């Protein structure tokens, strides 16, 4: 029961409070603070060393799957944005190239890896007694990941990350590698910002760091 309460508080309560502005804290420091806490819990309580989590040795077939799927999904995302809001196409690289390049460099380090440590490594290890290790765990991780993005107060951001959360959760289930799943996350995330969906995430950039 207490594990379920903890899970709801961390992965539903905190994002909801931030989204409602009842917890007036910048998102990035909260993310990094949670990353440190989850890392310490994995090291000290669950005895899961970082060397085991990173596991760069992943089967070549897994990397090929990620590449092939991205070659299908990313053009699909381009076409979808063209249909729903063509004015946002390549908004950041065309209008704010310096900020776009900063995102491509900083996003994998400051956002992707921390999120994958929290929503995959920590979530899978910590809440296995609640969700098991199969379909239920992948679904729970995806839902938590998607709901975590309510802080952007934007349904598009939540929808995109819900789908991405399922993809990343199943990748982590197959590989148990933070390197692999973070690489996949960074690939799609950088594509999202480049194509134009980034506007759904960075319109509130100044508020997030206020």
Is the pLDDT at 164 greater than 90, yes or no? yes
Is 153 in a helix, a strand, or coil? coil
* 7-55 pLDDT per residue, tens: 999 999 999 999 998 888 888 889 999 999 999 999 998 888 777 777 7
**Under 8 Å between Cβ of 69 and 187:** no
pLDDT band at 56 (very low <50, low <70, confident <90, very high): low
Q: Which two tokens stand for residue 78?
A: 């381009």
Q: How many domains does the chain have?
A: 1
How does pLDDT run across 110-128, given as a tens digit for each residue? 999 999 999 999 999 999 9
Give 126-145 pLDDT, tens digit per residue: 999 999 999 999 999 999 99
Rounded to an integer, what distance in angstroms lies between the CA atom of residue 46 and that of residue 66?
Answer: 29
Give yes or no for residue 204 having a pLDDT over 80.
no
55: in domain: no
pTM: 0.91
Residue at 54 is within a domain: no
Q: Which two tokens stand for residue 47?
A: 């005895």
**In terms of Cα–Cα distance, which of 195, 190, 208, 202 is closest to 79?**
195
The answer as to whether 194 is a domain residue is yes
Per-residue CA distances from 114 to 29, 97, 111, 130, 170 (Å): 11, 25, 5, 23, 18
Burial class (CB in 10 A: 0-12, 13-18, 19+), 66: buried
What does the alpha-carbon distance between residue 115 and residue 108 come to, in Å, rounded to a whole number? Answer: 10
Highest mean pLDDT of the ranges 38-47, 97-106, 136-145, 196-205:
136-145
Q: Which residue has the tokens 């956002």?
A: 111
* pLDDT in the model for residue 202: 63
Q: Does an H or E element contain 49, and which?
A: none
CB 198 within 8 A of CB 91: yes
Residue 27 counted as domain residue: yes
Torsion angle (degrees, nearest 10) of CA 130, 164, 55, 134 = 30
> Which residue from 155, 137, 133 is spatially nearest to 146, judged by alpha carbons?
155
* Residue 113, token pair as written in the block: 């890896």
| 42 neighbors 53 (Cβ within 8 angstroms) | yes
Class of residue 81 by CB neighbours under 10 A (exposed 0-12, middle 13-18, buried 19+): buried
Containing structural domain, residue 99: 2-49+60-208
């Amino acid at each position: 029961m207490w594990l379920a309460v903890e899970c709801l508080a961390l992965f539903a309560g905190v994002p909801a409070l931030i989204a409602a502005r009842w917890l007036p804290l910048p998102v990035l420091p909260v993310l990094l603070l949670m990353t440190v806490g989850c890392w310490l819990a994995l090291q000290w309580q669950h005895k899961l060393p970082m060397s085991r989590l990173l596991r760069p040795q992943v089967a070549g077939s897994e990397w090929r799957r990620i590449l092939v799927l991205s070659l299908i999904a990313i053009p699909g995302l381009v076409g979808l944005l063209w249909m729903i809001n063509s004015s946002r196409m390549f908004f950041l690289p065309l209008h704010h190239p310096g900020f776009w390049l900063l995102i491509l460099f900083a996003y994998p380090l400051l956002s992707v890896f921390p999120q994958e440590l929290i929503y995959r490594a920590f979530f899978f290890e910590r809440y296995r007694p609640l969700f098991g290790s199969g379909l239920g765990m992948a679904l729970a991780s995806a839902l938590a990941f998607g709901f975590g993005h309510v802080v952007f107060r934007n349904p598009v951001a939540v929808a995109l990350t819900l789908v991405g959360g399922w993809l990343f959760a199943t990748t982590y289930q197959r590989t148990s590698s933070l390197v692999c799943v973070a690489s996949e996350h960074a690939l799609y995330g950088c594509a999202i910002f480049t194509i134009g969906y980034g506007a759904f995430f960075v319109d509130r950039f100044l508020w997030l760091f206020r």
